[in-house]
Amino acid sequence: MKKLLLCLMLASTSFISFSQTVPLTTNWSILSGNPSFTSLGLSNAASIAYDGTGHKLYVADRNAPQIKILQLNPLNLGNYTISGNLTIKADWLGTFKFNKIRVATDGAIYATSLYNAASATTAGKLYIYRWENDADTEPSSFELNVTGRFGDALAVYGTGANTKIYVGGSGTGIAPNNVQDKMLVLGFDVNNKIVVQNIVSVGGNNFSRGSISPISDTEIIINGPQSVGIRKIKLNPDYTIADTKVLSSTVLDALYSNAQYFESGIKKYIVLSGSVIGSAPASNIGVRMRVVDVTSALSGLASSATLSSSAELYSETPAAVSGGSNPNGYADVVIRKNADGTHTFFHLVYGHGLASYTTDGTLPVSLSSFNAALVKGESTLTWSTASETNNKGFEVLRSTDGKSFSVVDFVASKAANGNSSTSLNYSYVDRKAQSGISYYRLKQIDLNGTSELFDQIKSVNLILNATAVQVYPNPATSYVKVKTSTTDFKNLKYDLFDLNGKLVLSEKGKDTEQELSLKGLAPSVYYLKVSTNTEQKMVKIIKN
């Protein structure tokens, strides 16, 4: 699909600006210098989290400490109100108490402190905090014994007792182990207590310090500041590393410290955010955010991927510096998919501010479903799109082994001029499918000729086990007789196709043995499909 390049033009105190042509609409911004910047605790806010059920944004102040609740208006994204704070217990310990915060899909809220050891052998306490929801007045606190530095990054995946919690850190300043960063994998024991399930070595210095973003409970995107690169790690069932894939490209600026993963249909994206790390504001050249399509980069078995510039959806020119330094590269982005196919981003950069903005258009073609089934004895494909941009249509591909596919037919887009922001439904009947298992997948074709092969593969089994079929004479001249073993001939149907798949004859069953006339048909090869409501068999007929 044609990539949407977004442009956001703000005032001289811009939070972020984009240099391309399709705009992002700014819903609101709270920048350094704004009175609300201090009152919301944004001076020391390193993380935000979003509750999609209640349309709430949680802003964590790592120093105060406090966690503000912003109530968002789902119908008016330009409007929000401050609706209070999460309950904090007076006896909770920990330095930088709420360094990172996340919301699980069941609405539970998690936060982590930051523990920064003076050396690799210095032990200390890392604290994990949990609220059942933002009305929870008796939240839980769990302490873990750690060495090194932990709490720079936090992610959660799953619900209830099956929730997995990932906490990242950095090797910086804890020699001699400063080249092997660790990631804690946490879960719940039978007493609903958070416990360490494994400590994973994720690579070199700072590799999990910037962000952790799960694709699943065993596939995770990690990123860190200072040119470490973005990686996808896959974990084994015991949470040791199975493999690592590097996502590297000039598109992915090394100065982006945060990478958050999200999906739209079958498309996969990462949102990169942050600002240049330095000890003084002059070293921070601007607030940054970028969205990159990583669908192709994450597929395949290669250990590394190179993203071309066409993978970049939204590009920006850094805005003027606002606020203080960001020596840890702290930044955060949370994403909301809206009912109309657009996306809203909530973007925080430590010491600079918080903003919300929404795309004016939908993301490229989003395939929301794809299915294949045997319907009335025929292979029938159905699929739906949530949105389409610059779409010419879809090639239907078939395979007999699930590996080598060839084009069967083309289905044109139903969208006006190839563009739609509403759901569209498609169907296709493959009348040339042979008996046995057929595998299907779709390839989307742009109006400009570029294409995208969708990952999903569906299968249909075309058999006629209960109905043995005999056709004679074959080769034939003027007629053939078809004999079946079924006595339920009223549910039989006979369809004859030429080599191009054109239907040239169709009759319903009249008897267990039926004569089909070939008069008027040119000498050639034909295919007779004998089918019931649930089964079918194809027989090749030669007419002399």
- Predicted confidence (pLDDT) at residue 19 exceeds the cutoff of 50: no
pLDDT, position 100: 94
What does the pLDDT average to over 18-24? 40
Which pLDDT does position 318 carry in this prediction?
43
Q: What is the mean pLDDT of residues 179-192?
A: 80
When pLDDT is cut at 50, 70 and 90, the band that residue 317 belongs to is very low
Residue with tokens 């994206």: 269
**pLDDT of 414:** 94
Task: Read off the pLDDT band of 320 (50, 70, 90).
Answer: very low
List pLDDT tens digits, range 114-140: 888 766 567 788 999 999 999 999 999
Give the count of beta carbons closer than 10 Å to the beta carbon of residue 162.
11
- Cis preceding-peptide flag for 65 (omega within 30 of 0): yes
Predicted pLDDT of residue 111: 95
- Model confidence at 86, pLDDT cuts 50, 70, 90, reads very high
Which H or E run contains 36?
helix 35-39
Q: Which CATH number does 6-359 carry? A: 2.120.10.10
Residue 358 has a pLDDT of: 81
Distance, in Å, from the CA atom of 378 to the CA atom of 47, rounded to the nearest integer, reads 53
pLDDT of residue 525 exceeding 80, the answer is yes
Specify whether the CB–CB gap between 274 and 256 falls below 8 A.
yes
Cis peptide before 214 (omega within 30 of 0): no
66 or 288, higher pLDDT:
66
Lowest mean pLDDT among 116-125, 192-201, 282-291: 282-291
Instruction: Cite the beta strand spans of 316-457 per DSSP E.
Output: 331-337, 343-349, 353-359, 366-375, 378-387, 391-399, 406-412, 424-430, 436-446, 451-453
pLDDT of res. 411: 96
Please tell us whether the domain made up of 469-543 is placed in CATH 3.40.50.920. no
Query: In terms of pLDDT, which residue wins out, 277 or 235?
Result: 235
Query: Tokens representing 388?
Result: 């389409």
pLDDT at 21 over 50: no
Q: What's the confidence (pLDDT) of residue 506?
A: 92
| Pick from 6-15, 35-44, 66-75, 504-513: least confident | 6-15
Backbone phi, psi, residue 418, to 5°? 80, 10
- For the cut 90, the answer to whether the pLDDT of residue 298 exceeds it is no
What is the CATH T-level fold of the domain 366-461, as seen in this structure?
A: Immunoglobulin-like (2.60.40)
Q: Are 228 and 265 in contact (CB under 8 A)?
A: no
Rounded average pLDDT over 200-223: 79
User: In this model, does residue 359 exceed pLDDT 70?
Assistant: yes
Report DSSP state, residue 43.
G
- 301 burial type by CB count under 10 A (0-12 exposed, 13-18 middle, 19+ buried): exposed
User: Which of 103-112, 373-382, 429-438, 481-490 shows the highest mean pLDDT?
Assistant: 103-112
In this prediction, residues 342-353 reach a mean pLDDT of 83
**Which two tokens mark 357?**
């903005």
CA atoms within 13 A on the CB side of 307: 28
- In the prediction, which pLDDT does 517 show? 93
Say which range, 139-148, 270-279, 396-405, has the weakest mean pLDDT.
270-279
pLDDT band at 207 (very low <50, low <70, confident <90, very high): low
pLDDT of residue 311: 47
The confidence band for 419, taking pLDDT boundaries of 50, 70 and 90, is confident
pLDDT value of residue 49: 95
pLDDT of residue 225: 65
Give me the pLDDT at residue 118, please. Answer: 64
- Stretch among 38-47, 84-93, 231-240, 288-297 having the lowest mean pLDDT: 288-297
Mean model confidence pLDDT for the chain: 78
Lowest mean pLDDT: which of 242-256, 324-338, 367-381?
Answer: 242-256
229-264 pLDDT per residue, tens: 688 889 888 888 888 888 765 556 666 778 899 887
Q: Name every residue whose Cβ is closer than 8 Å to that of residue 363 and which is 6 or more positions away in sequence.
A: 4, 264, 267, 269, 313, 341, 343, 387, 389
Does 6-359 match 469-543 in CATH topology? Answer: no
Distance between CA atoms of 157 and 254, rounded to whole angstroms? 26
- List the domain boundaries for the chain: 6-359, 366-461, 469-543
- Count Cβ atoms within 10 A of the Cβ of residue 418 and give its class: 0-12 exposed, 13-18 middle, 19 or more buried: buried
Higher-confidence position of 113 and 305: 113
Query: pLDDT band for position 303 (50/70/90)?
Result: low
Q: Looking up tokens 């990686």, which residue turns up?
A: 231
DSSP symbol at 22: E
Backbone φ, ψ for residue 407 (5° rounding): -75, 130
**Pairing of β 123-131 and β 115-116:** unpaired
Average pLDDT over residues 347-361: 79
